[in-house]
Protein backbone atom coordinates (compact mmCIF):
# COMPACT_ATOMS: atom_id res chain seq x y z
CA UNK A 1 0.00 0.00 0.00
CA UNK A 2 1.36 3.38 -1.04
CA UNK A 3 1.13 6.03 1.67
CA UNK A 4 1.77 9.75 1.73
CA UNK A 5 2.09 12.60 4.18
CA UNK A 6 0.81 15.72 2.48
CA UNK A 7 2.80 18.75 3.64
CA UNK A 8 0.04 21.31 3.26
CA UNK A 9 -3.57 20.44 4.04
CA UNK A 10 -6.29 21.62 6.40
CA UNK A 11 -4.85 19.85 9.45
CA UNK A 12 -1.41 21.31 8.76
CA UNK A 13 -2.85 24.82 8.59
CA UNK A 14 -5.02 24.41 11.70
CA UNK A 15 -2.10 23.15 13.77
CA UNK A 16 -0.07 26.20 12.78
CA UNK A 17 -3.06 28.44 13.52
CA UNK A 18 -3.52 26.92 16.98
CA UNK A 19 0.15 27.32 17.84
CA UNK A 20 0.39 30.87 16.47
CA UNK A 21 -2.42 31.95 18.80
CA UNK A 22 -0.08 31.17 21.72
CA UNK A 23 2.82 33.22 20.36
CA UNK A 24 6.18 31.84 21.47
CA UNK A 25 4.67 29.72 24.26
CA UNK A 26 4.76 25.94 24.12
CA UNK A 27 1.40 24.14 23.83
CA UNK A 28 0.51 20.55 24.66
CA UNK A 29 -0.99 18.36 21.93
CA UNK A 30 -4.28 17.97 23.79
CA UNK A 31 -4.85 21.73 23.76
CA UNK A 32 -4.06 21.86 20.05
CA UNK A 33 -6.65 19.13 19.43
CA UNK A 34 -9.23 21.11 21.40
CA UNK A 35 -8.60 24.25 19.35
CA UNK A 36 -8.82 22.32 16.09
CA UNK A 37 -12.12 20.72 17.11
CA UNK A 38 -13.50 24.14 17.98
CA UNK A 39 -13.02 24.97 14.30
CA UNK A 40 -15.04 21.95 13.19
CA UNK A 41 -12.27 19.47 12.37
CA UNK A 42 -12.50 16.17 14.22
CA UNK A 43 -9.03 14.62 14.29
CA UNK A 44 -7.72 12.22 16.93
CA UNK A 45 -4.93 13.24 19.28
CA UNK A 46 -2.75 10.47 17.82
CA UNK A 47 -3.20 11.90 14.33
CA UNK A 48 -2.30 15.39 15.55
CA UNK A 49 0.78 14.09 17.39
CA UNK A 50 1.97 12.24 14.29
CA UNK A 51 1.49 15.33 12.16
CA UNK A 52 3.35 17.49 14.70
CA UNK A 53 6.33 15.12 14.55
CA UNK A 54 6.37 15.33 10.76
CA UNK A 55 6.09 19.12 10.86
CA UNK A 56 8.96 19.31 13.38
CA UNK A 57 11.18 17.36 10.97
CA UNK A 58 10.51 20.04 8.35
CA UNK A 59 11.13 22.90 10.76
CA UNK A 60 7.60 24.30 10.95
CA UNK A 61 7.27 23.58 14.70
CA UNK A 62 9.63 22.68 17.50
CA UNK A 63 9.18 20.35 20.45
CA UNK A 64 10.09 20.71 24.13
CA UNK A 65 9.12 17.73 26.27
CA UNK A 66 5.49 17.00 25.40
CA UNK A 67 4.73 20.51 24.17
CA UNK A 68 5.10 22.38 20.90
CA UNK A 69 5.46 25.88 19.50
CA UNK A 70 5.50 27.41 16.03
CA UNK A 71 8.77 28.48 14.37
CA UNK A 72 9.46 31.46 12.12
CA UNK A 73 9.27 29.09 9.16
CA UNK A 74 5.88 27.91 10.42
CA UNK A 75 4.62 31.48 10.76
CA UNK A 76 5.71 32.25 7.20
CA UNK A 77 3.94 29.16 5.89
CA UNK A 78 0.79 30.01 7.87
CA UNK A 79 0.72 33.46 6.33
CA UNK A 80 0.84 31.94 2.84
CA UNK A 81 -1.63 29.15 3.61
CA UNK A 82 -4.48 31.09 5.20
CA UNK A 83 -5.97 31.45 1.75
CA UNK A 84 -8.08 28.50 2.98
CA UNK A 85 -10.11 31.02 4.97
CA UNK A 86 -11.58 32.51 1.80
CA UNK A 87 -12.19 29.36 -0.20
CA UNK A 88 -15.89 30.02 -0.65
CA UNK A 89 -16.41 29.28 -4.31
CA UNK A 90 -15.14 25.99 -5.69
CA UNK A 91 -13.33 27.93 -8.43
CA UNK A 92 -11.13 29.41 -5.69
CA UNK A 93 -10.20 25.89 -4.60
CA UNK A 94 -9.05 25.24 -8.16
CA UNK A 95 -7.06 28.48 -8.14
CA UNK A 96 -5.41 27.53 -4.86
CA UNK A 97 -4.33 24.16 -6.26
CA UNK A 98 -3.05 25.76 -9.45
CA UNK A 99 -0.89 28.22 -7.52
CA UNK A 100 0.44 25.76 -4.93
CA UNK A 101 0.96 22.63 -6.99
CA UNK A 102 4.62 22.02 -7.78
CA UNK A 103 4.07 19.51 -10.58
CA UNK A 104 6.39 19.69 -13.61
CA UNK A 105 5.30 17.74 -16.70
CA UNK A 106 8.88 17.66 -18.02
CA UNK A 107 10.37 15.98 -14.95
CA UNK A 108 7.16 14.25 -13.82
CA UNK A 109 7.85 15.43 -10.28
CA UNK A 110 6.04 17.59 -7.73
CA UNK A 111 2.63 17.72 -6.10
CA UNK A 112 -0.56 17.09 -8.07
CA UNK A 113 -4.16 18.03 -7.14
CA UNK A 114 -5.93 14.92 -5.93
CA UNK A 115 -9.53 13.83 -5.39
CA UNK A 116 -10.23 11.06 -2.90
CA UNK A 117 -13.00 8.51 -2.39
CA UNK A 118 -13.30 7.24 1.19
CA UNK A 119 -15.08 3.91 1.66
CA UNK A 120 -15.21 0.79 3.80
CA UNK A 121 -12.08 -1.37 3.67
CA UNK A 122 -14.09 -4.47 2.83
CA UNK A 123 -15.14 -2.71 -0.40
CA UNK A 124 -11.58 -1.92 -1.43
CA UNK A 125 -10.89 -4.90 -3.70
CA UNK A 126 -14.08 -4.50 -5.71
CA UNK A 127 -13.65 -0.72 -5.84
CA UNK A 128 -10.14 -1.08 -7.24
CA UNK A 129 -11.43 -3.49 -9.88
CA UNK A 130 -14.01 -0.92 -10.96
CA UNK A 131 -11.41 1.85 -10.98
CA UNK A 132 -9.11 -0.31 -13.08
CA UNK A 133 -11.76 -0.37 -15.80
CA UNK A 134 -12.39 3.37 -15.50
CA UNK A 135 -8.80 4.62 -15.21
CA UNK A 136 -7.78 2.56 -18.23
CA UNK A 137 -10.55 4.15 -20.29
CA UNK A 138 -10.68 7.32 -22.39
CA UNK A 139 -12.74 9.05 -19.67
CA UNK A 140 -9.93 9.12 -17.12
CA UNK A 141 -7.40 11.88 -16.46
CA UNK A 142 -4.72 9.25 -15.83
CA UNK A 143 -4.12 5.62 -14.93
CA UNK A 144 -2.54 6.66 -11.62
CA UNK A 145 -3.97 6.21 -8.13
CA UNK A 146 -2.81 6.32 -4.51
CA UNK A 147 -4.12 4.53 -1.42
CA UNK A 148 -4.64 6.31 1.91
CA UNK A 149 -4.76 4.25 5.09
CA UNK A 150 -6.40 4.80 8.47
CA UNK A 151 -5.25 8.01 10.15
CA UNK A 152 -4.14 9.73 6.95
CA UNK A 153 -5.75 12.96 5.80
CA UNK A 154 -7.81 13.74 2.71
CA UNK A 155 -8.63 17.44 2.73
CA UNK A 156 -10.69 18.08 5.86
CA UNK A 157 -11.36 14.39 6.48
CA UNK A 158 -9.30 11.88 8.44
CA UNK A 159 -9.46 8.30 7.17
CA UNK A 160 -11.29 6.58 10.01
CA UNK A 161 -10.69 3.11 11.38
CA UNK A 162 -12.08 0.49 9.01
CA UNK A 163 -11.95 2.89 6.05
CA UNK A 164 -9.63 3.38 3.09
CA UNK A 165 -9.08 6.31 0.75
CA UNK A 166 -8.46 5.96 -2.97
CA UNK A 167 -6.97 9.06 -4.59
CA UNK A 168 -6.92 9.93 -8.28
CA UNK A 169 -5.27 12.85 -10.08
CA UNK A 170 -7.64 15.76 -10.67
CA UNK A 171 -8.06 17.15 -14.16
CA UNK A 172 -6.90 20.47 -12.67
CA UNK A 173 -3.46 19.09 -13.52
CA UNK A 174 -4.17 20.39 -17.04
CA UNK A 175 -4.53 23.94 -15.68
CA UNK A 176 -1.22 23.52 -13.86
CA UNK A 177 0.59 22.21 -16.94
CA UNK A 178 -0.58 25.23 -18.93
CA UNK A 179 0.18 27.71 -16.15
CA UNK A 180 3.77 26.44 -16.11
CA UNK A 181 4.21 27.70 -19.70
CA UNK A 182 2.48 30.99 -18.96
CA UNK A 183 -0.96 30.13 -20.34
CA UNK A 184 -3.86 30.87 -17.99
CA UNK A 185 -6.94 28.74 -18.51
CA UNK A 186 -10.16 30.49 -17.53
CA UNK A 187 -12.37 28.14 -15.55
CA UNK A 188 -15.78 28.34 -17.21
CA UNK A 189 -18.16 25.38 -17.06
CA UNK A 190 -18.60 21.75 -16.17
CA UNK A 191 -20.76 20.02 -18.76
CA UNK A 192 -22.62 16.75 -19.09
CA UNK A 193 -21.59 14.99 -22.29
CA UNK A 194 -23.89 12.32 -23.74
CA UNK A 195 -22.40 9.24 -25.39
CA UNK A 196 -24.09 6.81 -27.75
CA UNK A 197 -22.36 3.72 -29.11
CA UNK A 198 -19.02 4.97 -27.87
CA UNK A 199 -19.26 8.40 -29.47
CA UNK A 200 -20.05 11.80 -27.91
CA UNK A 201 -23.27 13.18 -29.38
CA UNK A 202 -24.03 16.34 -27.42
CA UNK A 203 -23.78 18.42 -24.26
CA UNK A 204 -27.03 18.24 -22.31
CA UNK A 205 -26.26 20.31 -19.19
CA UNK A 206 -23.87 23.08 -18.12
CA UNK A 207 -22.97 24.43 -14.68
CA UNK A 208 -20.92 27.61 -14.32
CA UNK A 209 -18.14 27.36 -11.72
CA UNK A 210 -18.83 30.88 -10.51
CA UNK A 211 -20.95 30.92 -7.36
CA UNK A 212 -20.81 27.19 -6.63
CA UNK A 213 -19.33 26.21 -3.27
CA UNK A 214 -18.82 22.55 -4.24
CA UNK A 215 -17.59 20.87 -7.38
CA UNK A 216 -20.08 21.22 -10.28
CA UNK A 217 -19.16 17.68 -11.26
CA UNK A 218 -20.13 16.52 -7.78
CA UNK A 219 -23.49 18.24 -8.26
CA UNK A 220 -24.01 16.17 -11.41
CA UNK A 221 -23.11 12.97 -9.57
CA UNK A 222 -25.28 13.63 -6.51
CA UNK A 223 -28.17 14.61 -8.78
CA UNK A 224 -28.00 11.23 -10.50
CA UNK A 225 -27.13 12.74 -13.89
CA UNK A 226 -23.96 10.76 -14.58
CA UNK A 227 -23.58 7.21 -15.85
CA UNK A 228 -19.84 7.11 -16.36
CA UNK A 229 -19.56 3.37 -15.73
CA UNK A 230 -22.12 2.70 -18.44
CA UNK A 231 -20.07 4.75 -20.88
CA UNK A 232 -16.96 2.74 -19.96
CA UNK A 233 -18.48 -0.73 -20.27
CA UNK A 234 -21.33 -0.19 -22.77
CA UNK A 235 -20.39 2.94 -24.67
CA UNK A 236 -23.56 4.87 -23.84
CA UNK A 237 -24.38 7.22 -20.99
CA UNK A 238 -23.30 10.55 -19.52
CA UNK A 239 -19.88 11.79 -18.36
CA UNK A 240 -18.60 15.11 -17.03
CA UNK A 241 -16.39 17.43 -19.07
CA UNK A 242 -14.38 20.50 -18.07
CA UNK A 243 -14.52 23.58 -20.30
CA UNK A 244 -11.77 26.19 -20.23
CA UNK A 245 -11.13 29.35 -22.28
CA UNK A 246 -7.74 30.87 -23.09
CA UNK A 247 -6.02 33.36 -25.36
CA UNK A 248 -6.22 32.36 -29.04
CA UNK A 249 -2.60 33.48 -29.40
CA UNK A 250 -1.53 30.50 -27.26
CA UNK A 251 -3.16 27.73 -29.31
CA UNK A 252 0.10 26.38 -30.69
CA UNK A 253 1.72 26.25 -27.25
CA UNK A 254 -1.33 24.59 -25.72
CA UNK A 255 -1.44 21.97 -28.47
CA UNK A 256 2.22 21.08 -27.81
CA UNK A 257 1.65 20.72 -24.06
CA UNK A 258 -1.47 18.61 -24.60
CA UNK A 259 0.52 16.26 -26.83
CA UNK A 260 3.27 15.99 -24.22
CA UNK A 261 0.78 15.39 -21.40
CA UNK A 262 -1.00 12.72 -23.43
CA UNK A 263 2.29 10.97 -24.20
CA UNK A 264 2.98 10.89 -20.45
CA UNK A 265 -0.44 9.54 -19.56
CA UNK A 266 -2.10 12.71 -18.31
CA UNK A 267 -5.28 14.37 -19.51
CA UNK A 268 -7.97 13.35 -21.98
CA UNK A 269 -8.55 16.35 -24.22
CA UNK A 270 -11.63 16.32 -26.45
CA UNK A 271 -10.94 19.47 -28.44
CA UNK A 272 -8.92 22.67 -28.77
CA UNK A 273 -11.01 25.00 -30.91
CA UNK A 274 -12.07 28.50 -31.80
CA UNK A 275 -15.42 27.16 -33.05
CA UNK A 276 -18.43 25.79 -31.23
CA UNK A 277 -18.29 22.53 -29.31
CA UNK A 278 -21.71 20.87 -29.51
CA UNK A 279 -23.32 24.30 -29.57
CA UNK A 280 -21.11 25.89 -26.90
CA UNK A 281 -19.53 29.09 -28.33
CA UNK A 282 -15.87 29.93 -27.76
CA UNK A 283 -16.77 33.65 -27.54
CA UNK A 284 -13.74 34.95 -29.49
CA UNK A 285 -11.37 32.94 -27.31
CA UNK A 286 -9.87 29.52 -27.77
CA UNK A 287 -11.63 26.70 -25.94
CA UNK A 288 -10.04 23.65 -24.32
CA UNK A 289 -12.42 20.82 -23.43
CA UNK A 290 -11.26 17.75 -21.53
CA UNK A 291 -12.63 14.90 -19.47
CA UNK A 292 -13.27 15.99 -15.87
CA UNK A 293 -11.28 14.17 -13.22
CA UNK A 294 -14.43 13.43 -11.26
CA UNK A 295 -15.32 10.80 -13.89
CA UNK A 296 -12.68 8.58 -12.28
CA UNK A 297 -14.56 8.34 -8.97
CA UNK A 298 -18.15 8.76 -10.21
CA UNK A 299 -18.66 4.99 -10.82
CA UNK A 300 -18.12 4.28 -7.12
CA UNK A 301 -21.10 6.51 -6.38
CA UNK A 302 -23.15 5.18 -9.30
CA UNK A 303 -22.59 1.54 -8.27
CA UNK A 304 -23.67 2.03 -4.68
CA UNK A 305 -20.36 2.04 -2.80
CA UNK A 306 -21.57 5.16 -0.95
CA UNK A 307 -18.14 6.80 -0.81
CA UNK A 308 -17.34 10.13 0.79
CA UNK A 309 -15.93 12.14 -2.11
CA UNK A 310 -13.30 14.79 -1.38
CA UNK A 311 -12.86 16.64 -4.69
CA UNK A 312 -9.59 18.50 -5.32
CA UNK A 313 -8.95 18.14 -1.62
CA UNK A 314 -5.21 17.48 -1.43
CA UNK A 315 -1.86 18.12 -3.09
CA UNK A 316 0.11 14.87 -3.14
CA UNK A 317 3.57 14.10 -4.50
CA UNK A 318 3.30 12.47 -7.91
CA UNK A 319 5.92 9.89 -6.95
CA UNK A 320 3.46 8.46 -4.39
CA UNK A 321 1.11 7.37 -7.16
CA UNK A 322 1.20 4.05 -8.96
CA UNK A 323 -0.66 2.73 -11.96
CA UNK A 324 -4.06 1.44 -10.89
CA UNK A 325 -3.33 -2.13 -11.99
CA UNK A 326 -0.31 -2.21 -9.66
CA UNK A 327 -2.59 -1.53 -6.67
CA UNK A 328 -5.00 -4.40 -7.23
Helices and strands, number each (H, E), in the chain: 12, 15
User: Is a pLDDT exceeding 60 seen at residue 48?
Assistant: yes
Check whether residue 148 and residue 44 sit in a common domain: no
Condensed to tens digits (0 to 9), the pLDDT of residues 274-296 reads 998 998 887 789 999 999 999 99
274 occurs within a structural domain = yes
- Distance from C-alpha of 184 to C-alpha of 77, rounded to nearest angstrom: 25
Check whether residue 241 and residue 212 sit in a common domain: yes
Check whether residue 79 and residue 101 sit in a common domain: no
User: Is a pLDDT exceeding 60 seen at residue 22?
Assistant: yes
CATH code, domain carrying 312: 3.30.70.1360
Residue 1 binned pLDDT confidence (cut-offs 50, 70, 90): very low
- Distance from C-alpha of 284 to C-alpha of 220, rounded to nearest angstrom: 28
Check whether residue 183 and residue 67 sit in a common domain: no
Check whether residue 263 and residue 173 sit in a common domain: yes
Residue that is last in its domain, among 24, 58, 85 = 85
Check whether residue 210 and residue 68 sit in a common domain: no
pLDDT at 223: 92
Residue 3 binned pLDDT confidence (cut-offs 50, 70, 90): very low
Check whether residue 78 and residue 149 sit in a common domain: no
H-assigned helices in the chain: 10-20, 29-38, 45-57, 72-81, 90-100, 124-135, 173-179, 216-222, 228-234, 251-263, 298-302, 324-327
- Distance from C-alpha of 152 to C-alpha of 310, rounded to nearest angstrom: 13
4 occurs within a structural domain = no
pLDDT at 77: 82
Higher pLDDT, 129 or 85: 129
CATH code, domain carrying 51: 1.10.10.10
Check whether residue 145 and residue 59 sit in a common domain: no
Instruction: Of 262, 307, 314, give the one whose Cα is nearest residue 288.
Output: 262
Residue that is last in its domain, among 85, 112, 140 = 85
- Dihedral sign, Cα of residue 266, residue 271, residue 277, residue 278: negative
Number of domains forming the structure of the chain:
2
User: Is a pLDDT exceeding 60 seen at residue 259?
Assistant: yes
Residue that is last in its domain, among 65, 85, 105 = 85
User: Is a pLDDT exceeding 50 seen at residue 309?
Assistant: yes
Check whether residue 188 and residue 140 sit in a common domain: yes
Condensed to tens digits (0 to 9), the pLDDT of residues 211-230 reads 676 788 999 999 999 999 99
Check whether residue 80 and residue 227 sit in a common domain: no
User: Is a pLDDT exceeding 80 seen at residue 196?
Assistant: yes
167 occurs within a structural domain = yes
Check whether residue 104 and residue 74 sit in a common domain: no
270 occurs within a structural domain = yes
Give the 3-state secondary structure of residue 240: strand
Check whether residue 47 and residue 186 sit in a common domain: no
pLDDT at 231: 98
Provide mean pLDDT across the span 234-260.
Answer: 97
122 occurs within a structural domain = yes
Enclosing domain of residue 247? 87-328
Give the 3-state secondary structure of residue 112: strand
Amino acid sequence: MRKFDSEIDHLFVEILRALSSKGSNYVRAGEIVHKIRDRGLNFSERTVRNRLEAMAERGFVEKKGNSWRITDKGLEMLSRSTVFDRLGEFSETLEYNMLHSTFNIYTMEGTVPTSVAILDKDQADRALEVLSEVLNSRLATSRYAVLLDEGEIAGKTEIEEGKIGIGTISSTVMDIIMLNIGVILSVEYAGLLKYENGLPVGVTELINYSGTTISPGLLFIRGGYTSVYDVVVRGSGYAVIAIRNFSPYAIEEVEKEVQLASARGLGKVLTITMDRFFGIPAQKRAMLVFQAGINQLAPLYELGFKPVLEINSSLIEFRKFGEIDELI
